[in-house]
Chains A and B, each alone.
Chain A
């Protein structure tokens, strides 16, 4: 039953995605692509956060770190030049990298996969070190991770250090004989990633893995006593969650054109990827989607009309208000209404 449903669901999302793409192409306003790219990026971040936070109940405050890791792995590979780069073991014995000439510059889909792998490994490592302890240690360690990675990047001159790095992106991309506007290309990639993230989240939710996650969230001790391999499940969740965040970050430098540590590690990524699922509802895949679309569009609107500081304040206040008043988010509110309406 699950298999059929997943296939149908994926097809539905692909159709919706294609429709969005076609519509955006038809309107053909570059700003629309810019704004929607950000919203798609937030959908992926929120969904990724929710795989660990919503399903397992482990809070990750370091979303920005995983995002930035993806972004900076792209920058590093963008700057990497096999013509001149070599690793020297002694003064004379150097290992050149000419044999990689054919591959560089790497296409963005490859960069996305690499970004995902890098952040996935980081997620696994973080989880392995902290998840054997109480849950709050993981949350604190993720917070510290963001600060430390920022320190590392600031000190890493190859990717620009604290000055940041410029990425000059091509005007357009040639794809099977058709020339596509670059921002449209990035948007389409993000759309594909969003579909993958949502399908993954929904599949997890309905699989044995998802039930395992839910037992961890509800009562970890009891779950462990019943033979649920909690540590392994948690590691799967941190790895997946980190990988998706990295993938969301990988094309970012190409989108924005200039990447600096303060913007890549900005607290707004962390707060948004927590606030969006919390406001939408954390137990289903719809929650982060609803939260990201609502909050993302509202922020785009507020940034243009008011100011970016005020819109962050609104996000923070909404987060606090929602966790106090509506613990199950908008989806929870609707479900509650639905239940009382059906059973008067």
Chain B
């Protein structure tokens, strides 16, 4: 079988760009699931919510979706803080987080999706921006700006989170709370407050990820479901709580998915993440860079 080299190179380039975007979607899960041990399966639903808000403001006021998403950050942070507050009071405090907490997030996912269907309908929605359409060429490789811009923004977001977590006091406290909550309490830090901040941060990333998603592809309310398997696969593959691991895993998944889509057809791409997830769980549950 002879492989056409420009097809292969283009697929890899597209995969890397896609992977950068996946990293932005997974960053939030990496914080909530990887560090706080909160299985927030509703995260993709918040991403879709971010997409629709970006769409709504972009269509009505012509504001660039990325700027909208940055303006949305405080609101999503507040949303995350309040969701965590409910979660803490109803489940974590009573020690029932495993079964009922999961059901709670599943319910949230479902309510968000159905509400979006009721408000916006099931049609695909898309945004308008100057960088949707043109692409730049490097040799034989095409880099569509529609993918390049989200990838760069995603990487910026990812680095910002990595800086917050490793360089600031609160960030280090978030890492600490993932390791030993009691020890943190003995250092006179309120672990619940830290967790609340961390969860707010994780939902805030959904605002940006949502705006990037709707730049990359048209969005309808149930698109989020495809991302559940993907983000958790990336998170587990990268190693729980490891941000560099998450980035590597995201790029890897992006490339493999893009190659699958190019050589076997796009309808097979969703199966890749599941294969990744199962192989990781079966052979290296700690992930690539897991502790």
Residues in A lying within 8 Å of B, measured CB to CB: 53, 57, 59, 61, 129-130, 133, 135-137, 139-141, 143-145, 147-148, 150-152, 154-155, 162, 217, 267, 270-271, 274-275, 278, 282, 309-310, 312-313, 315-317, 319-320, 323-324, 327
Contact A140 B117 (CB under 8 A): no
B107 partner, pick from A144, A148, A320, beta carbons under 8 A: A320
Interface flag for B233 (CB, 8 Å)? yes
Contact B110 A312 (CB under 8 A): yes
B271 partner, pick from A61, A152, A278, A282, beta carbons under 8 A: A152
Q: Given contact pairs A136-B33, A141-B281, A324-B104, enumerate 16 new A-B contacts (beta carbons under 8 Å).
A: A53-B99, A59-B106, A61-B41, A129-B281, A137-B236, A139-B39, A140-B41, A140-B232, A143-B229, A144-B232, A147-B226, A217-B99, A267-B110, A278-B103, A309-B114, A327-B96
* B178 CB, nearest partner CB in chain A, Å: 14
Interface flag for B273 (CB, 8 Å)? yes
Interface flag for B113 (CB, 8 Å)? yes
Per-residue A-contact encoding for B114-137, CB less than 8 Å = 1, 0 else = 110110000000000000000000
Give the distance in Å from the alpha carbon of A323 to the alpha carbon of B233 in the complex: 27
Contact A324 B39 (CB under 8 A): no
Residues in B lying within 8 Å of A, measured CB to CB: 33, 39, 41, 86, 90-91, 94, 96, 98-100, 102-104, 106-108, 110-111, 113-115, 117-118, 222, 225-226, 228-229, 232-233, 236, 265, 267-268, 270-271, 273-275, 277-278, 281-282, 285
A324 partner, pick from B90, B102, B271, B278, beta carbons under 8 A: B90
With A141-B278, A316-B111 given, is the CB distance from A151 to B98 under 8 Å?
no
A contact residues around B226 at 8 Å (CB): 147
* B154 CB, nearest partner CB in chain A, Å: 22
* A53 CB, nearest partner CB in chain B, Å: 7
Contact B99 A59 (CB under 8 A): yes
B270 partner, pick from A143, A148, A313, beta carbons under 8 A: A148
Contact A319 B281 (CB under 8 A): no
B235, closest chain A residue (CB) = A140
B contact residues around A319 at 8 Å (CB): 103, 106-107, 110
Q: Pick the most buried of B102, B107, B236: most chain A CB atoms within 10 A of its CB.
A: B107
Contact B267 A151 (CB under 8 A): yes
A61 partner, pick from B104, B106, B108, B268, beta carbons under 8 A: B106
B contact residues around A275 at 8 Å (CB): 103, 107
A contact residues around B273 at 8 Å (CB): 144, 147
Contact A57 B271 (CB under 8 A): no
Nearest 10 pairs of A and B residues by beta carbon: A144-B229, A320-B107, A148-B274, A316-B110, A319-B107, A316-B111, A313-B114, A140-B232, A323-B100, A136-B39
Contact A317 B111 (CB under 8 A): yes
Contact A267 B233 (CB under 8 A): no
Contact B270 A316 (CB under 8 A): no
Contact B86 A324 (CB under 8 A): yes
B33, closest chain A residue (CB) = A136
Give the distance in Å from the alpha carbon of A79 to the alpha carbon of B270 in the complex: 26
* A37 CB, nearest partner CB in chain B, Å: 24
Contact B39 A129 (CB under 8 A): no
Give the distance in Å from the alpha carbon of A59 to the alpha carbon of B106 in the complex: 10
Give the distance in Å from the alpha carbon of A142 to the alpha carbon of B98 in the complex: 15
A323 partner, pick from B41, B104, B265, B277, beta carbons under 8 A: B104
A contact residues around B265 at 8 Å (CB): 155
B contact residues around A137 at 8 Å (CB): 236, 281, 285
Give the distance in Å from the alpha carbon of A61 to the alpha carbon of B86 in the complex: 22
Give the distance in Å from the alpha carbon of A275 to the alpha carbon of B277 in the complex: 26
Contact A274 B106 (CB under 8 A): yes
Contact B113 A267 (CB under 8 A): yes
Give the distance in Å from the alpha carbon of A282 to the alpha carbon of B100 in the complex: 11
B274 partner, pick from A145, A162, A323, A324, beta carbons under 8 A: A145
B115, closest chain A residue (CB) = A313
29 residue pairs from A and B, CB less than 8 Å apart:
A57-B99, A59-B98, A59-B99, A59-B106, A61-B102, A136-B33, A140-B39, A140-B228, A140-B236, A140-B277, A143-B228, A144-B232, A145-B274, A147-B228, A147-B270, A147-B273, A151-B268, A155-B267, A267-B225, A271-B106, A274-B103, A275-B103, A278-B100, A316-B114, A317-B111, A319-B103, A319-B106, A324-B86, A327-B100
